[in-house]
Amino acid sequence: MDPRSAMLIHGFGCDCRFWEPQATALRAAGWDVATPDLPYHGGPTEGVEQSLQGLAAWVVGRLGGTPAVLIGHSMGGMMALQIAHDRPDLTRAIVLVDAFPSLSVVVPHLPGMFVPGLHRTVRRWIEDTREEVFRNMGQRVYGNLWPTVADFDAVDWLPAITCPALMVIGGRQLYRAEDAERLKADLLLDRLGGPCSVVVVPMTGHFLNLEEPEAVNGTILDWLGAL
């Protein structure tokens, strides 16, 4: 991977298709983009532990020893935090797309995955595609993997992550752009050891990268351009 490399890490029950708008925009801007299907989500599984940490270790192997910007949605953002902590030498920066240091932190502030009545066509595609991924994953793997996502907690070691970070949050029906700094504190992202920017995309939910892709793409590209 070259210095303008980005690894896009999808969420639990998703696959590389969930990153199509961002991968297209980043490549058009001259970035070398990898969008792998994670193990147990369509990617290779041999020798990969059925846990968030096992998937993160697999991503580290895909980086090939060269630092990259890690862009993670949901569980993928948790994995980006894990990698930034464990392998700072491979983490140039992280972008968290509706991803948080723990589920216990986010649930009180950002309830629900979708904004009722909005983005109906996108929501239908998301639900149908996730159903397909979960069906292929199987109940046994789901039962092993999901608890490690639910139990993930990076709060105590956030200060050790010193690379630049961007959080792009779906505001649901609760938050506007001017609420970004308050959410940064509420979600404990102010504990990160490096510079952290927070951007709220109003009236979007957990899958804001598909609901309002142009807004998310522009936010990410502007921030990367300033690195």
CATH code for the domain of 220 = 3.40.50.1820
CB 86 within 8 A of CB 25: no
Which residues span the domain enclosing 135?
5-225
Give the closest residue to 12 by CA, choosing from 124, 152, 204.
Answer: 152
pTM: 0.97
Q: What is the mean pLDDT of residues 139-167?
A: 98
Q: What is d(CA 144, CA 137) in angstroms, rounded to the nearest whole number?
A: 11
Q: What is d(CA 213, CA 186) in angstroms, rounded to the nearest whole number?
A: 25
User: What is the tally of structural domains in the chain?
Assistant: 1
In this prediction, what percent of the chain has a pLDDT beyond 90? 97
Bridge partners, residue 197, by sequence: 166
Average pLDDT of the chain, as a whole number: 97
The tokens 């020798």 sit on which residue? 47
Give the closest residue to 22 by CA, choosing from 56, 72, 62, 63.
Answer: 72
H helix count then E strand count, the chain: 9, 6
pLDDT in tens, 5-29: 999 999 999 999 999 999 999 999 9
pLDDT in tens, 160-199: 999 999 999 999 999 999 999 999 999 999 999 999 999 9
